[in-house]
Structure 1
Amino acid sequence: MAEPTLGTGEVIVDVVAAPVLSYADEVFSGARNYPLDLPVIPGCGAIGRVRALGPDATRLKVGDWVFCDPTVRSRDDALMPDITLQGWSARGDGGLKLQHHFRDGPFAERIRVPTENAIPIGNIDAAQAPHWCAIGILLIPYGGLLALDLKAGETLLVSGATGNFGSATIATALAMGARCVIAPGRNEAVLADLRRRFGERLVPVRLTGDPAMDGETMKRAAPGPIDAVIDFLPPSVGADVARTAIMTVRPYGRVVLMGGVGMLGGGDLGLPYPWIMRNLVTIRGQWMYDRTAVPKMVGLVRSGLLDLRHFATTEFAVDRVNEAVEQAAADAGPFRLTVVRP
């Protein structure tokens, strides 16, 4: 590929490390049916250093360490901006149009991003860049927790807690001051590891597959009423599992949906209208995160509240990216991170 050329409102970044998402193989095989207009340099987010700036940058400097936020928004509709994930996916026709320009992702030596998507993280050692890639994973549940308006002292239930995003949700919620996180799942080894990492504020619950029994078990495990539920279940899980977790929330509680339930077909959530209405439950969907989430996430890391060392990283040179994709799929457990380093 040719060198990226700088335009107004853009920044060119030297990529130092880029994460390989655990489901990258499903995107490239077409199993997830993500819209990608080929040819494209793929990838989703990166850590790097500013190489060149456009005239609209007033704070960034050449050499600054930045997180390249893949969530690119159109600039001509503040109310309903179209969104593309640079090098990864797009939402709707407007997102595809946006993808035509900001098409190439970070599996390369350099990347061109909108100015607002090169977000400073402060000085780091180059050897730390792979661990800083973890904020690309953590930001997604952080966006959900901000949408949930999670407050310090509240009890949160994470549906899909033993997955990559679910476990990242646990770490982020505890860093935000959650009193307790309820972590339901079937993988006893992962549940035990979560308890070891986070102590008594993490309450594991082993699911049996019986909705009535599981719902009551989750409620009893909590130290009090469950204030909020966030769902990160993958597409392979049925809607009944998500419904059981959602209906553990207390009256006046909040629910955010961020997972993949229903993307491969199957039944709908089927939540009872009277239960939602009479209990004044708020349910909302959330995709990705607001721009302001990134500097807040950096603040959580810099303050020591959120420890990136939870993540075990495996590194590959960029010319071994196919091996990296295989590794990411095989090592898809909680706090596992595969990165490419151009």
Structure 2
Amino acid sequence: MRAAVLTEFGAPLTVREVPDPEAGGGEVVVQVLAACVPPYAAEVFSGQRKYPLQPPVIPGIGGIGRVVHAGPDATRLGVGDLVWCDCTVRARDDALTPDITLQGWSSRGDGGARLARYLHDGAFAELMRLPTENVYRLPHEAEDDVARWSSLGVYAIPYGGLLAGTLQAGETLLVSGATGNLGSAAVALALAMGAGQVITPGRNRAVLDLLADRFPRRVRPVELTGDEATDLAAMSAAGGPIDMVLDLLPPSAPSTATRAAAMTVRENGRVVLMGGVGMLGGPDLALPYPWIMRNSVTVRGQWMYPRPANVGMIRLLASHALDLGPERVRTFPLDAVNDAIGYAAAHGGPFDRTVLTPSAG
């Protein structure tokens, strides 16, 4: 098969022939039809984000594919099925605290690194091998636009945060990082799940206006100044009481921005941290102990999403509760993978999707 290979950090990906993957017990091989290229992919491949990838590696974070081989443990999947391939792989030998790797992308701890060495390669290839439990059948309508449906992987991440924070219908949510690629997805998703209103802080006025225009009456934009006290007051006044805060700010964001957003939450409110603050050094997040304790605030982290979230996302898309129609999708063939990475970096705004189509043509 042909695949895009990261040979070393800082080098362009190389498209070349590599051996076809062979499925072992409890595994599936799929033909990859569409895989999203994240806006920050260039930062990963340059080494800037310090992800624990081990080159040479075929990168990629899941996608849409067609089953070409299913093992004997697959009782519902069959050859030819159109499927979503989830990159979040959990070790099978500890149900309580499983080691995790994001196949072809990242991992957590020594156990995750061991798992990553076995399930080493991701979706930037014509074929991909995955655990059976990471493959989910898609409805027939997904056949009509697999590139657009590959946005499922973008939405699944904030969906994990919204589930972790137990967002309820009618509640007010503040999305910290709302003007970014993941943050804007969180806004659309929260409204599809029934949020009463979503407060969208950010420094890009044009993007704030775009969100408000797409979701009139239910989005409350707040233009930030960079001053922590001023921004905290402005966000608090935008539409409180705020029931939940979801932070999706990138590693380049200052911890003060996350702290200001978090401290807008009401008494007995919830704060879910999914961003990258502190991952590249600099001051870590420091929330006041007395404020958390006396206001009975719940603060929790969430990395990616639980396995059932994949089924929930597929249902949201199939029911059209979440509309993918406004997505701006640009596709690239496998040979143009480096062009795709550059395009994604330059088009990482709300509802922009860059998609690699490894098996096209």
Q: How does the TM-score come out when normalised to structure 1?
A: 0.98
1:34 aligns with 2:54: no
Question: How far did residue 310 of structure 1 move?
Answer: 2.6
Q: Which runs of 5+ in 1 are unaligned?
A: none
Equivalent residue for 1:270, pick from 286, 303, 312: 286
Identity, in percent, stands at: 60
1:310 paired residue number: 326
Counterpart code for 2:94: D
1:247 aligns with 2:240: no
Equivalent residue for 2:136, pick from 112, 119, 138: 119
Asked whether the 8 Å contact 2:82–2:143 carries over to 1, the reply is no
CA displacement 1:213-246 (0-9 Å, x = unmatched)? 2112112110x31000010111111111111110
Equivalent residue for 1:15, pick from 21, 26, 32: 32
Asked whether the 8 Å contact 2:32–2:63 carries over to 1, the reply is yes
Q: Distance in 2 between matches of 1:36 and 1:234?
A: 19
CA displacement 1:230-287 (0-9 Å, x = unmatched)? 1011111111111111000000000000001111211122211110000000000000
Q: Distance in 1 between matches of 2:204 and 2:287?
A: 26
Q: Any idea what SS the aligned residue of 2:20 has?
A: coil
Q: How many residues align?
A: 341
1:83 paired residue number: 100
Equivalent residue for 2:307, pick from 255, 279, 291: 291
1:106 paired residue number: 123
Bigger shift: residues 275-284 or 89-98: 89-98
Question: How far did residue 127 of structure 1 move?
Answer: 4.8
Q: Distance in 1 between matches of 2:142 and 2:52?
A: 36
Q: Which runs of 5+ in 2 are unaligned?
A: 1-17
1:337 paired residue number: 353
Q: Distance in 2 between matches of 1:269 and 1:87?
A: 29
Equivalent residue for 2:338, pick from 300, 322, 327: 322
Q: Distance in 2 between matches of 1:125 and 1:296?
A: 15
Question: How far did residue 125 of structure 1 move?
Answer: 5.4
Q: Distance in 2 between matches of 1:179 and 1:319?
A: 44
2:111 paired residue number: 94
Q: Distance in 2 between matches of 1:115 and 1:40?
A: 21
Equivalent residue for 1:188, pick from 180, 205, 218: 205
Q: Distance in 2 between matches of 1:18 and 1:308?
A: 16
Counterpart code for 2:99: D
Q: Distance in 1 between matches of 2:314 and 2:104?
A: 23
Equivalent residue for 2:248, pick from 226, 232, 239: 232
RMSD: 1.0
Asked whether the 8 Å contact 1:64–1:122 carries over to 2, the reply is no
After superposing on structure 2, the runs of 4+ consecutive aligned residues of structure 1 that deviate more than 4 Å are none
Equivalent residue for 2:183, pick from 154, 161, 166: 166
1:147 aligns with 2:164: yes
